Amino acid sequence: MVYPAVPIINGERTLRHFPTTALLLILLATLPTTDVVAQATQAIDTPADVRIGDIAISQPWARATAGQTPTGGAYITLRNTGGAADRLIGATTPAAKQAELHIHQMDGAVMRMRAIDAIELPPGASVSMGPGGLHIMLLALKSPLKEGDRLPLTLRFEKAGEVAIEAQILGVGATGPLDKRAAAQGHGHRP
pLDDT of residue 47: 53
Residues 6+ apart with CB under 8 A from 90: 99, 101, 155, 156
Is the pLDDT at 81 greater than 70, yes or no? yes
Q: How far apart are CA 95 and CA 143, in angstroms?
A: 7
**pLDDT above 70 covers what percent of the chain?**
68
Region of residue 53 (left: phi > 0; alpha: psi -120 to 50; beta: else): left
What domains appear along the chain, each with residue ranges and CATH number?
42-184 (2.60.40.1890)
Residues 6+ apart with CB under 8 A from 94: 142, 152
List pLDDT tens digits, range 86-130: 999 999 999 999 999 999 988 899 989 999 999 999 999 999 999
List pLDDT tens digits, range 19-61: 444 444 344 443 443 333 334 444 444 555 899 999 999 999 9
For 16, counting Cβ atoms within 10 Å of its Cβ (0-12 exposed, 13-18 middle, 19+ buried), the class is: exposed
pLDDT of residue 122: 97
Q: How far apart are CA 119 and CA 183, in angstroms?
A: 30
Residues 6+ apart with CB under 8 A from 153: 60, 74, 91, 92, 93, 99, 136, 164, 165, 166, 167
Residues 6+ apart with CB under 8 A from 170: 42, 44, 61, 62, 63, 64, 147, 177
Is the pLDDT at 174 greater than 70, yes or no? yes
Instruction: Give the length of the chain.
Output: 191
> Strands 176-179 and 110-115: what pairing?
unpaired
